[in-house]
Amino acid sequence: MIFEIPKSEDLNSELSLEKTGCVITVRNCKHFNDDSARKLFPRSSAEYVSAETYTLPESYFSQSFWDSERERHQRVLNTWISNKNKLATIAPSEKTEDFKYVNCMACLVALINMYEWVLDMCWDGNRSKPPMPVQLYKARLSELKDVNSLGFNVCIISFVMKIT
């Protein structure tokens, strides 16, 4: 059974912090580091310092940027959902209670939940609900990239090697 690996270009964001154009100051009208976010993203949540206002480069308010981010995250999410379904299909029923299988599935579910959260947080173009702070978004993407490699290397490879 061949598992898919997310494409490297889908794991690397085109996000640039160059402050070309005007800088927009927004009031923090949405809490981006709530309990669910802290559970899904422990590292970036611990490093995040919330503020009442923050500034964003004008390019971060580009609808085309967020559309491409949404598409990129959706492709990776679909890859992990496909891998989870393949793993559930190929695992013999006696292996489904095996620690490595349970651990692998938990890792895949966590990764899927992280991508669903990030997709929900992608800006929809509504200026009354601004996007999350740039530094937090970059930290979340970095954490996602690390978890992606863990998800594939540790979970899938170790379990699949055991059942094949």
24: in domain: yes
42: in domain: yes
Write out the residue range of the structural domain in which residue 85 sits: 19-163
13: in domain: no
Specify the pLDDT at position 96.
78
90: in domain: yes
Q: What are phi and psi of 120, to 5 degrees?
A: -65, -30
pLDDT tens digits along 107-155: 889 999 999 999 999 988 887 778 888 889 999 999 998 888 876 666 6
pLDDT tens digits along 54-103: 888 877 878 888 999 999 999 999 999 998 898 888 877 777 787 778 88
12: in domain: no
How large a percentage of the chain has pLDDT more than 90? 26
Q: What are phi and psi of 129, to 5 degrees?
A: -125, 85
154: in domain: yes
Contact 121, 36 (CB under 8 A): no
Cβ neighbors of 83 (< 8 A, separation 6 or more) are 3, 4, 108, 156
pLDDT tens digits along 124-133: 888 777 888 8
Number of domains present in the structure of the chain: 1
6: in domain: no
